[in-house]
C-alpha cells in the first residue's frame, strides 16, 4: 500500500473510531463464516445492539442443565430454594447486555447468591440487596454494615463455637436484638435446622452426614472465609432491611437498573414457600405489575406453574424454562421471566 492509501485508510479508521466503531478480531469456524458475513454490516449499526444481544442470549444453550456443584458458593447461608443454579444464567444475561447495569437490585435477597456473584464479578456498578426477615437481615447487616471489630467478633465466635446439642439449643433459645448475636444465631440456625429452613418450628438436623450429627453441618473456616470475601466487597454492596416492593420502587425510574427478583412463591398454594420462610405472603399480581412498570431490565424466577405463566403473559413478559440439576441430580424446570 502506498503512503497516500495508507493515510486515507488511517483517516477512515479514525473517523470510524469517533463513531464508536473499532476493529475486533474473532476466531471463526469455516462452517460459521457465511453467518458472520451476513451479520457483518449489522455489527456497525448501534441500533442493532439489542437485537444482536437477544440473538446471543438465544444461542446460549438452555438445554444443558447447570450443575450447582460448579458454581462458586459465596453465601454463608444454605438457602432453601437458593438460586445457585441460576447464577450462570444471570451471568450470561448480563455479559451480553448492551451496558453494565448501574445497579443490580435483589429485592428478596435470602441467601443472595445472584447479587453476591454480581458484586464479586463486577457484573454491575453496584449491588442493592433487600430482605425483610429480621434474622436473615441481621447476617447481611452484620457483614455489610457492621464495623471491622464487630465482624472480627462474629468470625471468632463462629470459629470458637463448640457444636454440641446443648450449645446449639442454647444459642437458638436466646432471644436477642443485638445484630451480631442475632447474625450468629441465624447462621447456627441455618446450618443446624433441617434443609436450612429458616421458618420457626423446623426440626434440627438429626444424624447429619457420616453420622457426625450436628458437627457435620458446621464448617467454621469456610463460613469465616466467605464472610471475609463478602466483607471485602462491601463498597460494592448496599444492604437494607425492608420490603422488597419499596426497594424496587427506589430504582423504578433507572433505565440502567437490573432487577433480579426471586420472591417467596406460594401462588397456587402447592409449593413449599409457606414452610420455608417466615415471610411468605406477597401479592404476586402486584409484583408482576410493578416489575412491568419499571424502566430497567427485569429477571424474575419462579417455579414452572400454569398460573405463573398466565401472570407473566398478562403482564407482557417473556418466559424461558431453564432446566436445572438439583442436589439429588434430578433435572427439574424453573422459569426465567424476562422483559421482552
Ligand atoms: C425465594 S427466597 C430468595 C432466595 C434467594 N434468591 C437465594 O439465592 O437464596 C425469598 C426471600 O424473600 C424474603 N421476603 C419475603 N417477603 C419479603 C418482602 N416483602 N420483602 C423483602 N423480602 C421478603 C424471604 O424472607 C426470603 O428470604
Residues 6+ apart with CB under 8 A from 39: 52
Among 114-128, 202-216, 289-303, whose mean pLDDT is lowest? Answer: 202-216
User: pLDDT tens across 181-206, in order?
Assistant: 999 999 999 998 877 777 766 777 76
Beta bridge partners of 204: 193
Q: What stretches of the chain show up as alpha helix (H) in DSSP? A: 3-18, 33-39, 49-59, 87-96, 113-120, 134-140, 148-160, 165-173, 179-192, 220-232, 244-250, 273-276, 284-293, 306-314
| Ligand 1, pocket residues at CB < 6 Å | 79, 81-83, 107-108, 110-113, 130-133, 136, 243-244, 262-264, 277, 279, 282
pLDDT digits (tens, 9 = 90+) for 140-188: 999 999 999 999 999 999 999 999 888 998 999 888 889 999 999 999 9
Atom 17 of ligand 1 has which residue's CA nearest to it? Answer: 132
What is the rounded CA–CA span in Å between residue 21 and residue 56? 20
pTM beyond 0.95, yes or no: no
Identify the pLDDT of residue 207: 45
- Average pLDDT, whole number, for the chain? 86
Task: Kindly list the structural domains of the chain, giving each domain's residue range(s) and its CATH number in brackets, ordered by start.
Answer: 49-132+242-340 (3.40.50.150), 147-233 (no CATH)
Nearest ligand 1 atom to the CA of 133 is 25
Looking at 34-48, 50-64, 97-111, 241-255, which range is the least confident one?
Answer: 50-64
pLDDT digits (tens, 9 = 90+) for 40-81: 888 888 777 767 766 775 666 555 555 555 567 889 998 776
Amino acid at each position: 500500500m502506498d503512503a497516500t492509501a495508507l493515510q486515507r485508510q488511517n483517516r477512515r479508521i479514525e473517523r470510524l473510531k469517533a463513531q464508536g466503531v473499532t476493529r475486533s478480531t474473532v476466531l471463526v469456524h469455516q462452517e460459521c463464516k457465511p453467518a458472520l458475513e451476513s451479520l457483518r454490516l449489522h455489527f456497525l449499526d448501534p441500533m442493532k445492539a439489542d437485537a444482536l444481544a437477544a440473538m446471543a442470549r438465544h444461542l446460549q444453550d438452555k438445554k444443558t442443565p447447570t450443575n450447582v456443584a460448579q458454581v462458586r458458593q459465596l453465601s454463608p447461608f444454605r438457602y432453601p430454594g437458593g438460586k445457585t443454579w441460576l447464577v450462570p444464567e444471570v451471568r450470561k444475561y448480563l455479559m451480553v447486555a448492551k451496558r453494565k447495569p448501574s445497579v443490580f437490585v435483589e429485592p428478596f435477597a435470602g441467601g443472595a447468591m445472584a447479587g453476591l456473584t454480581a458484586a464479586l464479578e463486577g457484573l454491575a456498578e453496584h449491588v442493592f440487596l433487600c430482605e425483610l426477615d429480621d434474622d436473615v437481615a441481621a447476617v447481611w447487616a452484620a457483614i455489610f454494615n457492621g464495623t471491622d471489630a464487630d465482624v472480627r467478633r462474629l468470625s471468632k465466635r463462629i470459629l470458637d463455637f463448640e457444636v454440641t446439642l446443648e450449645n446449639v439449643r442454647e444459642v437458638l433459645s436466646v432471644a436477642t436484638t443485638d445484630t451480631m448475636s442475632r447474625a450468629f444465631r441465624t447462621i447456627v440456625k441455618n446450618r443446624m435446622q433441617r434443609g436450612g429452613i429458616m421458618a420457626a418450628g423446623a426440626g434440627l438436623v438429626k444424624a447429619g452426614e457420616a453420622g457426625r450429627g450436628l458437627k457435620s453441618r458446621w464448617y467454621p473456616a469456610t463460613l469465616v472465609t466467605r464472610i471475609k470475601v463478602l466483607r471485602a466487597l462491601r463498597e460494592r454492596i448496599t444492604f437494607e432491611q425492608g420490603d422488597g416492593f419499596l426497594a424496587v420502587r427506589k430504582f423504578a425510574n433507572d433505565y440502567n437498573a437490573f432487577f433480579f427478583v426471586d420472591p417467596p412463591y406460594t401462588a397456587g398454594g402447592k409449593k413449599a414457600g409457606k414452610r420455608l420462610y417466615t415471610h411468605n405472603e406477597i401479592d404476586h399480581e402486584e409484583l408482576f405489575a410493578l416489575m412491568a412498570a419499571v424502566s430497567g431490565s427485569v429477571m424474575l424466577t419462579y417455579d414452572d406453574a400454569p398460573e405463573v405463566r398466565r401472570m407473566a403473559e398478562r403482564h407482557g413478559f417473556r418466559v424461558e424454562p431453564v432446566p436445572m440439576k438439583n442436589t439429588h441430580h434430578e433435572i427439574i424446570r424453573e422459569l426465567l421471566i424476562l422483559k421482552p
